[in-house]
Structure 1
């Protein structure tokens, strides 16, 4: 999940310190700091490449150890890494690091976690006649996922592993198999997924026409999912329908909202607001949950990726996310198309009315999502999301006050 729909930029420098464990998990020491071009903390490909090129080390980044407290990208960032094969001669500096267990640590962030996941993926490819793996390149890792590119004689594949709170992602990919609109899943086990390669690049910065097409792609999936809601819920996709949605939103206001008068008023009006949204007659269905263009790969056809934030709920959440940083006039073009499709699908429905009521609810939902992340990750990783709950609560207040 990203805080904004943004283009990859190299304008914010990132300096990396790596503290490295040996293959068995023993502490080797700290490497000299170095700079990488991408500022985004989860991005690891440059880090791994630098360790190999500078010091001949084959390693994986396990997790974030320390990051600046006042920014969400760039700055001097410290990571814990682990060797994947023996090495000697690196310029280690003695250091101290807390290697104690934490119950909220993702399996892939533990010592030995990457090696176990790579071994699982290699076996899965071999069993399907698609191996062997000739190269494994870690692309990113953070509290929401780890992602590896696996090169083989039959082409590239992707190993993705997620924490337990995203463990329903393979359920969604299995359901969407054959649609041509979601990432093709080869096999999944214990929140590990082996994904087929999709040609193309992400669509960060996409213009209005591309976003119209993305909304149409998702509409196809959401209409197909309406009859599958009971099955998806039974298989673990989170339930954000009313009345559970109301309790979910009240929870983040109670925990983080303090004495904000507008938030209290918004919370008090939630029952009536949600009644009115229901009266607009759009059906509950599968919601992507983070539908910005960076989560869409554009090639010969568009593929929607990263379904870990998905849930069952109101389809309007996705079009609001898709248009949230667009100029008002361009956003309205995408929304009008979206509304016309739902009016055709559900005669007598009021998509526009639902969206207007849903806007502050959508911001509250984003705040609740980030609160869930903070509750589900170890404290060292809190810098990834430290300001996000407050940001989205402020946005909910702004949208609520604009209505008045």
Structure 2
């Protein structure tokens, strides 16, 4: 599966120039833009920054025909016809709504990518690193990512929306709490500059590698048990106990989650039962799957802590075992439970996992609802179908 892409271009002043002819890129996922930038450079000799999704010919990703708004780097800020002549590329008139929106992310505005790259370049200069190349990698409502090559190796610029701005605080938490990417700089407004993490994303990891990921993560969560107050003070969302139930209900208000009505009605009682299992609250990654682990067979780094929160440790083992067969999942959970029973004598990790199994997709439905509440409508196709799908999974796991 691939994508067909149409780009509506803006000049340096943010005024529309027109649309490039459609082009095909290999990645079907709408947020991936590095191949779009490269294709426009190769085909038209233009340097562009993709700003945001405009619309698509299907209700949700992946694939299809997708329109984006993009800005030409250093395009002349002159009327349309001279600009087209100066660019030397065929452009078609294109209707586009450029009205501001209160939920638009700063990197999705005209000039936003340039400002972020300028900030990162300045920070790298301050650190004694000379930038040799910049490549936009991804842009959507959850983040914008660039790779900045320097004379001392690659670095990464990540820009986050307000609901995820605690990530640099987690990564840079004192005492080497987690094994995550090194933060080189952060501006406190969502931008952070990260050192490169060698290796590959571990998509497709088998049971053995997932077991190693779980064992390493247990050490992190054990350390974090003693600093949950400090983590919350640093801005990490507090979803302990009853707060989780309140937050789920608040996020899902206004969504049709009737399929999970029974689970929601009994959520407070269920979470009290979870607390009786005796496991401590800790730092939860929130999306611990192998694709958020980078490295090789010997060295691994857990990346992308933007969904992290303070809460129950079982949520991460449930996420890590989602897409493996039942026997492998049971073995991974058994090993996880043995570690917790050793470190917290008298606890009942297995019962906690069983009780939280339907709550995990329900929490995920609430996460998607949070995304939808915080992003402009043009970006809703990324997540609109996720809320009912996740709540239906929760209801199916909970049973009658």
Structure-2 separation of matches of 1:126 and 1:150: 12
Partner of 1:239: 238
- What is the CA deviation profile of residues 74-96 of structure 1, one whole-angstrom value per residue up to 9, with x for unaligned ones? 00001111122346212111111
Normalising by structure 2, we get a TM-score of: 0.94
Structure-2 separation of matches of 1:269 and 1:258: 14
1:146 maps onto 2:151 in alignment: no
Partner of 1:248: 247
Distance 1:216 1:397, change over 3 A: same
Question: Of residues 275, 289, 294 in structure 2, which corresponds to 1:292?
Answer: 289
Partner of 2:268: 271
- TM alignment of 1:5-404, pairs within 5 A: 12-86=1-75, 88-130=87-129, 132-175=130-173, 178=176, 181-189=179-187, 190-257=189-256, 259-260=258-259, 263-299=260-296, 300-401=298-399
Asked whether the equivalents of residues 141 and 161 of structure 2 are also in contact (C-alpha less than 8 Å), the reply is yes
- What is the CA deviation profile of residues 141-168 of structure 1, one whole-angstrom value per residue up to 9, with x for unaligned ones? 1110011110111111000001111110
Partner of 1:7: none
Structure-1 separation of matches of 2:366 and 2:51: 27
Asked whether the equivalents of residues 341 and 347 of structure 2 are also in contact (C-alpha less than 8 Å), the reply is yes
| Alpha-carbon distance, 1:369 to partner | 0.1
Q: Which moved more, 1:223-232 or 1:354-363?
A: 223-232
Structure-1 separation of matches of 2:216 and 2:268: 32
Asked whether the equivalents of residues 289 and 320 of structure 2 are also in contact (C-alpha less than 8 Å), the reply is yes
Distance 1:200 1:370, change over 3 A: same
Asked whether the equivalents of residues 176 and 182 of structure 1 are also in contact (C-alpha less than 8 Å), the reply is no
Q: Which moved more, 1:152-161 or 1:251-260?
A: 251-260
Structure-2 separation of matches of 1:378 and 1:316: 33
Structure-2 separation of matches of 1:213 and 1:177: 22
Across the two proteins, how many residue pairs are aligned to each other?
388
- What is the CA deviation profile of residues 105-129 of structure 1, one whole-angstrom value per residue up to 9, with x for unaligned ones? 1111111110000000011001011
Q: CA RMSD in A?
A: 1.4
Distance 1:16 1:237, change over 3 A: same
| Alpha-carbon distance, 1:134 to partner | 1.0
Structure-1 separation of matches of 2:185 and 2:265: 45
Structure-1 separation of matches of 2:59 and 2:256: 21
Distance 1:201 1:375, change over 3 A: same
Structure-1 separation of matches of 2:357 and 2:349: 12
Asked whether the equivalents of residues 66 and 380 of structure 1 are also in contact (C-alpha less than 8 Å), the reply is yes
Asked whether the equivalents of residues 253 and 267 of structure 1 are also in contact (C-alpha less than 8 Å), the reply is no
Q: Which moved more, 1:177-186 or 1:376-385?
A: 177-186
| Alpha-carbon distance, 1:252 to partner | 4.5
Structure-2 separation of matches of 1:176 and 1:334: 30
Q: Which moved more, 1:240-249 or 1:166-175?
A: 240-249
Partner of 1:6: none
Q: Which moved more, 1:216-225 or 1:38-47?
A: 216-225
- Secondary structure at 2:393 match in 1: helix
Structure-1 separation of matches of 2:306 and 2:175: 16
| Alpha-carbon distance, 1:289 to partner | 0.4
Asked whether the equivalents of residues 177 and 185 of structure 1 are also in contact (C-alpha less than 8 Å), the reply is no
Normalising by structure 1, we get a TM-score of: 0.93
- What is the CA deviation profile of residues 325-353 of structure 1, one whole-angstrom value per residue up to 9, with x for unaligned ones? 11000111111111111111111111100
